[in-house]
């Protein structure tokens, strides 16, 4: 026979004081939470995944400290840079660099000695070389480029050839020869002067040789 037991009053009172507990419900997708979270958990809550990405606005950068630039008007008749040309005077032993019709600078040179005169005429720059190799015209002996004793120095500007031999501007390890008729047809210059001309001329620059 079953006896009905009466709950003690103290137990009933204890149960009545207990508040119901709400358990968050999680859907099958583990990264989507369907029940509300406490405010303290909002910062760490994962962001729901969506199939459509959120567009990011494109902002135009501005700098309040940098004023806007106004383009300068283009002149109606812009000046055209005049072409460079070189003119050698064998008698004066000078080469003059012209820009258009303006003589920009004149340099001392050595020209070809008797029997090896620098050829008269108008030619064009056909070679530009740094640290050229020199080959002796009679023995075929070669002196490597950059050698302090290389008769061509460190810069070569060739403007004449017969298909075998070349004539051009070059430096020299013997600066005392500059101003003389001392070469085998080439135009010797002080090393710093030929380097300066080397930087100004291009392939095709005219070279005129006068008496």
Note the pLDDT of residue 78: 45
The pLDDT of residue 117 is above 80: yes
Q: Give yes or no for residue 196 having a pLDDT over 70.
A: yes
- 166: part of which helix (H) or strand (E)? strand 166-170
How far apart CA 111 and CA 118 sit, in angstroms, is: 6
Under 8 Å between Cβ of 195 and 154: yes
Contacts of 207 (CB under 8 A, 6+ apart): 85, 86, 87, 88, 122, 123, 124, 125, 159
> What is the pLDDT at residue 133?
95
Which one has a higher pLDDT value, 47 or 132?
132
138 pLDDT band (50/70/90 cuts)? confident
Which numeric CATH code is attached to 84-210?
A: 2.40.440.10
How many Å apart are CA 135 and CA 138, to the nearest integer?
Answer: 9
- At residue 180, does pLDDT exceed 80? yes
Average pLDDT of the segment spanning 67-95: 73
Provide the β-strand partners of residue 14: none
- Residue (of 167, 46, 153, 42) closest to 117 by Cα position: 167
The answer to whether 198 touches 113, Cβ cutoff 8 Å, is: no
Q: Which pLDDT belongs to residue 183? A: 95
Q: Which one, of 38, 40, 180, lies nearest residue 109 by Cα?
A: 180
Q: What is the pLDDT of residue 136?
A: 86
Q: Look at the chain and count its residues.
A: 211
Task: Say if residue 39's pLDDT is above 60.
Answer: no
Please identify every residue annotated as catalytic.
170, 186
Query: Lowest mean pLDDT: which of 35-44, 47-56, 113-122, 127-136?
Result: 35-44
């Amino acid at each position: 026979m079953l006896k009905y037991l009466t709950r003690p009053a103290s137990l009933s009172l204890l149960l009545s004081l207990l508040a119901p507990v709400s358990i968050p419900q999680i859907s099958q997708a583990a990264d989507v939470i369907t029940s509300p979270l406490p405010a303290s958990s909002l910062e760490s809550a994962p962001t729901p995944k969506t199939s459509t990405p959120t567009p990011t606005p494109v902002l135009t950068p501005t700098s309040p400290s940098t004023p806007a630039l106004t383009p300068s008007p283009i002149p109606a008749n812009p000046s055209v840079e005049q072409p460079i040309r070189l003119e050698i005077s064998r008698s004066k032993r000078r080469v003059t660099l012209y820009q258009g019709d303006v003589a920009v600078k004149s340099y001392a040179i050595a020209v070809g000695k008797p029997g090896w005169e620098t050829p008269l005429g108008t030619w064009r720059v056909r070679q530009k070389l740094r640290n050229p190799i020199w080959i002796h015209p009679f023995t075929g002996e070669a002196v490597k480029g950059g050698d302090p004793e290389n008769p061509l120095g460190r810069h070569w500007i060739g403007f004449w050839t017969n298909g075998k031999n070349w004539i051009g501007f070059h430096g020299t390890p013997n600066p005392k020869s500059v101003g003389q008729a001392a070469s085998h047809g080439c135009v010797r210059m002080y090393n710093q002067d030929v380097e300066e001309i080397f930087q100004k001329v291009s392939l095709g620059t005219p070279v005129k040789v006068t008496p």
